[in-house]
Chain A
Amino acid sequence: MGSRCGVDPTTIRQALMHQKTLTELAIGLEKGEFSSVELTQHYLDRATAHASLNSFITVTPDLAISQATAADARRASGDAGPLTGLPLAHKDLFCTEGVRTSCGSKMLDNFISPFDATVVSKLGEAGMVTVGKANMDEFAMGSSNENSFYGAVQNPWATDRVPGGSSGGSAAMVAARLVPAATATDTGGSIRQPASFCGVTGIKPTYGRVSRYGMVAYASSLDQGGVIAATAEDCAMVLGAMSGHDAKDSTSIDRPVEDYRKVLGADIAGLRVGIPKEYFGEGLSNAVGERVLAAAKELEALGAVLVDVSLPNTELAISSYYVVAPAEASSNLSRFDGVRYGHRCEDPKDLEDLYKRSRGEGLGKEVQRRIMVGAYVLSAGYYDAYYLKAQKLRRLIAQDFTQAFEQCDLIVGPVAPTTAFKIGELSDDPVAMYLADVYTLSTNLAGLPGISMPVGLADGLPVGAQLLGPHFSEARLLNVAHQFQQQTDWHQKIPAAFA
């Protein structure tokens, strides 16, 4: 009331809620500036208004409003936690009970999950509200989100460009502020690269930090869940709630979870930041290289010490990864057989026909290709030359990092060689797309944590830098990214059409 155009200031404040970070929204809920139902409805309306981005596979308005109502009741009874009532979306490979969990595949287009992934239960228990399921490359195989049965996702910064992948829906919806945060997974860069292409922050924690139970498997020894949000502080909030040991995941690590938010603000003076020369060589676009180095200089201005380090086997990560990942995929995806769930072909003439046609019809080309490559490298006579060799190289790559971390506390480098490319530009040349994963793959092979943060714009497109640290250094990575974001405003930029 009393405003010049006669609009209630509360209405104006609520219309701009999406411009706030998750952390700011948490404060708004706590102060009673708006309810979770109001906040959730606002984001649901935005998801509808910007449906053309194709960042959602499924929007869950009924579930969201019922969870938001419960969150408001919980707050009224004094039982709310820091995340209670905050909306988010889950990448569509986290199983959500009663909701389609498609993995971006025709194979699972009809799959209504009978249970929740541990990540979904944990964030649900924290009171977070699920507004929907995010689009993704089919079974997380891809770096552009073009391999989705539900179609390509548009990058909010330039709708003719890809958002990156495989967590392209998660990154695009956060960038467009259709959600304040989204879960994601990273097998070879699938959190960090789309976060970089979309100008948002994404963290892939140490292998084993976040439970993989109910997270549909692609390459089990590499897959790791994480989160994408606008800021490092927002990521810290969600990551803390989704991490921790889970007896249902035998690769989950039994080790206490640090309070990631508590360490935000720690001084980084004297921190040794390694610059690996292999990450700044041939193939890296100047625009990206300059901005990543400028970010390193910013850290130096905050008191960090820049040191040159070497990761000599970086290129070999591509070879090792594209053997290990398809091998594990060929084994994991054998479960999609048209018998227990998922797509089944019409009128199978026998069991073999049922398997072959169900899989031939239900799985996309890239997924089929990776499964067949995996079958090849695991087959008799080739196992030692390919799979075993790749596992040995993996140790070599891990040793590179161990040696580098004797000279530095974390590593800074580009996430991808370029900014977001055009939809269709690389889709006919899968190998060219594989080569663009060169800076992200080795992190997964070594099981290390990494965070991608926006460090600039080049021709109007976001550029990201990644910080990599030793195992279980999530708190350090989040703090350094947070310190960087206290000095810069790249993380606050919203593409004009979505502001």
Chain B
Amino acid sequence: MAVDNKTVIDMAHLARIAVSEDDIPKIASQMGKVLEIAEKMAAVDTDHLEPMAHPLDAAQPLRVDDVTEADLREAFQAVAPSVDKGLYLVPKVIE
């Protein structure tokens, strides 16, 4: 299936990935080839089939709502690009 440049721009925005304008036609062509493989699925009748999300059809286990983890904020924030007083810093989002 053909993927146009606009679709690439939309998907790159949805995925929050900056792509260079020069790369867009190549990405469009490669995405098109991948989706071509996916389209072979359409020919198969799957009306009677339940979608399979877990290979063993296991249900999501639940646990008691107890605190089980220690506070590792400092360790986790040691690898953050920018932190201050325990907070992750990003560019200003509210004027």
Counting chain B CB atoms within 10 Å of each CB, the highest count among A326, A337, A359 belongs to: A359
Q: Across the interface, which residues of A come within 8 angstroms of B49, CB to CB?
A: 392-393, 395-396
- Indicate which residue in A313, A318, A376, A448 contacts B35 across the interface (CB closer than 8 Å): A376
Query: Number of A interface residues, CB 8 Å?
Result: 77
User: Are A207 and B46 also in contact (CB < 8 A) when A316-B40, A431-B34 are?
Assistant: no
Find out whether the CB atom of B50 lies under 8 angstroms from the CB atom of A386: no
Q: Across the interface, which residues of A come within 8 angstroms of B8, CB to CB?
A: 372
Bitwise, A329-365 to B at CB < 8 A (1) or not (0) is: 0100010011111111000111111111101110100
Q: Across the interface, which residues of A come within 8 angstroms of B33, CB to CB?
A: 430-431
Tell me whether A111 is interfacial, beta carbon within 8 Å: yes
Q: Across the interface, which residues of B come within 8 angstroms of A392, CB to CB?
A: 46, 49-52
User: Are A348 and B34 also in contact (CB < 8 A) when A207-B56, A393-B44 are?
Assistant: no
Q: List residues of A (426-441) whose CB comes within 8 Å of B's CBs.
A: 430-431, 434-435
Tell me whether B2 is interfacial, beta carbon within 8 Å: no
Tell me whether B67 is interfacial, beta carbon within 8 Å: no
Find out whether the CB atom of B31 lies under 8 angstroms from the CB atom of A322: no
User: Are A471 and B56 also in contact (CB < 8 A) when A349-B91, A372-B17, A379-B14 are?
Assistant: yes
Bitwise, B39-69 to A at CB < 8 A (1) or not (0) is: 1111010100111111110101101000000
**With A and B bound together, what is the CA distance between A247 and B64 in angstroms?**
12
- Indicate which residue in A341, A376, A393 contacts B7 across the interface (CB closer than 8 Å): A376
Q: Across the interface, which residues of B come within 8 angstroms of A446, CB to CB?
A: 55
User: Are A373 and B41 also in contact (CB < 8 A) when A339-B81, A359-B16, A392-B46 are?
Assistant: no
Q: Across the interface, which residues of B come within 8 angstroms of A356, CB to CB?
A: 12, 16-18
Find out whether the CB atom of A112 lies under 8 angstroms from the CB atom of B16: no
Find out whether the CB atom of A372 lies under 8 angstroms from the CB atom of B46: no
Q: Across the interface, which residues of B come within 8 angstroms of A326, CB to CB?
A: 34
Closest to B63 in A: A247
Find out whether the CB atom of A319 lies under 8 angstroms from the CB atom of B38: yes
In angstroms, how far is the closest chain A Cβ from the Cβ of B55?
Answer: 2
Counting chain B CB atoms within 10 Å of each CB, the highest count among A319, A361, A371 belongs to: A319
Q: Across the interface, which residues of A come within 8 angstroms of B34, CB to CB?
A: 322, 326, 369, 373, 430-431, 434
Q: Across the interface, which residues of B come within 8 angstroms of A338, CB to CB?
A: 81
**With A and B bound together, what is the CA distance between A115 and B79 in angstroms?**
12
Tell me whether A176 is interfacial, beta carbon within 8 Å: no
Q: Across the interface, which residues of B come within 8 angstroms of A368, CB to CB?
A: 15, 17, 19, 27
In angstroms, how far is the closest chain A Cβ from the Cβ of B40?
Answer: 5
Q: Across the interface, which residues of B come within 8 angstroms of A237, CB to CB?
A: none
Q: Across the interface, which residues of A come within 8 angstroms of B18, CB to CB?
A: 356-357, 359-361
Query: Number of B interface residues, CB 8 Å?
Result: 51
Tell me whether A250 is interfacial, beta carbon within 8 Å: yes
In angstroms, how far is the closest chain A Cβ from the Cβ of B90?
Answer: 5
Tell me whether A158 is interfacial, beta carbon within 8 Å: no
Counting chain B CB atoms within 10 Å of each CB, the highest count among A337, A343, A352 belongs to: A352
**With A and B bound together, what is the CA distance between A102 and B12 in angstroms?**
23
Find out whether the CB atom of B14 lies under 8 angstroms from the CB atom of A375: yes
In angstroms, how far is the closest chain A Cβ from the Cβ of B86?
Answer: 13
**With A and B bound together, what is the CA distance between A484 and B75 in angstroms?**
48
**With A and B bound together, what is the CA distance between A334 and B15 in angstroms?**
8
Find out whether the CB atom of B54 lies under 8 angstroms from the CB atom of A434: no
Tell me whether A171 is interfacial, beta carbon within 8 Å: no
Find out whether the CB atom of A371 lies under 8 angstroms from the CB atom of B17: yes
**With A and B bound together, what is the CA distance between A456 and B5 in angstroms?**
47
In angstroms, how far is the closest chain A Cβ from the Cβ of B88?
Answer: 5
User: Are A377 and B38 also in contact (CB < 8 A) when A351-B93, A389-B46, A396-B49 are?
Assistant: yes
Find out whether the CB atom of A393 lies under 8 angstroms from the CB atom of B80: no
Closest to B76 in A: A114
Tell me whether A5 is interfacial, beta carbon within 8 Å: no
Tell me whether A251 is interfacial, beta carbon within 8 Å: yes
Q: Across the interface, which residues of A come within 8 angstroms of B39, CB to CB?
A: 319
Counting chain B CB atoms within 10 Å of each CB, the highest count among A316, A371, A376 belongs to: A376
Closest to B59 in A: A250
Q: Across the interface, which residues of A come within 8 angstroms of B63, CB to CB?
A: 247
Tell me whether A398 is interfacial, beta carbon within 8 Å: yes
Find out whether the CB atom of B17 lies under 8 angstroms from the CB atom of A359: yes
Tell me whether A253 is interfacial, beta carbon within 8 Å: yes
Counting chain A CB atoms within 10 Å of each CB, the highest count among B31, B34, B46 belongs to: B34
User: Are A322 and B38 also in contact (CB < 8 A) when A349-B91, A350-B93 are?
Assistant: yes
**With A and B bound together, what is the CA distance between A359 and B14 in angstroms?**
12
Q: Across the interface, which residues of B come within 8 angstroms of A359, CB to CB?
A: 15-18
Q: Across the interface, which residues of B come within 8 angstroms of A251, CB to CB?
A: 54, 58
Tell me whether A320 is interfacial, beta carbon within 8 Å: yes
The 4 closest A-B pairs by CB, nearest first: A447-B55, A360-B18, A391-B51, A344-B81
**Subset of 19 A-B contacts with CB under 8 Å:** A114-B75, A208-B56, A341-B76, A351-B90, A356-B18, A360-B19, A361-B18, A368-B19, A372-B17, A373-B35, A374-B15, A376-B35, A389-B46, A390-B38, A392-B46, A392-B50, A392-B52, A431-B34, A431-B37
Which B residues are within 8 Å of any A CB, using their own CB?
3, 7-8, 11-12, 14-19, 27, 30-31, 33-42, 44, 46, 49-56, 58, 60-61, 63, 72, 75-76, 78-82, 88, 90-93
